[in-house]
Amino acid sequence: MMGGWGELALAFGVFLASHGVPVQPPVKRRLIAALGPGGYLVAYGALSVAVLAWLIVAAGRTPHVPVLPWAAWQAWVPNLAMPAVCLLIAFGTAAPNPLSFGGARNDRFDPARPGIAGLTRHPLPWALALWAAAHALANPDLAHLLMFGGFAGFAILGTRIIDRRNRRLLGVAEWQRLAASTSNLPLAALVAGRWRPRRGPAPARLIIAVALWAMLVLSHAPVIGVSPVPTHC
């Protein structure tokens, strides 16, 4: 069975291609025409999860090369970060958002009341970046730092690429109108006073976030082979 650094490099290359190619406008149009909008999102999500699982397994097969010292408290960092990750996912997949990946370009988006886009107009990429950064700190060996650091860099760079693409597709004036009360960097629009929450979070989305968090905690040991709950500090 393939293993080692070669498999990790191949898996990461496939990961980048599987995320970069399907969202290119000509490719995306063909896929949506063939699968429908819902089918496209399902297929894209399934492919992303499959390649991500392969990449994680490939990182586990590489030789262990420590890079940074490790202390037991670092294992708690993902536990503190994952509730925020799950909230970003739960709310980011629900709200109409023409400013980021998967956002619905329809009349339901109100630029004056952007919802989760006011917190950050890219909730899903920032969820990936937060997840990756937290797990990099908890796994400071070479393979996992390369993998999780690559995820974080890919996600953050992706937000800038999405903004640039949307400026081109929507036109600068329309993009600025839609993005006036939002920010790329989480909380930046709130700190700058350009956005204020108008209402509390939807209870259904909170329930989904808690359910997602619980599923990830319970499945971590069976799937990854390591309990997310540290046994000592």
| pLDDT 10s digits, 176-207 | 999 999 999 999 999 999 999 887 778 888 99
185/88 Cα distance (integer angstroms): 13
Query: Number of helices and strands (H, E) in the chain?
Result: 9, 0
* φ, ψ for residue 225, nearest 5 deg: 95, 5
pTM to 2 decimal places: 0.86
pLDDT attached to residue 1: 46
Give every residue of the chain whose pLDDT is below 70, as ranges: 1-3, 102-107, 231-233
DSSP state of 200: P
Residue 152, amino acid:
A
Torsion of CA 157, 146, 140, 212, to 10 degrees: 60
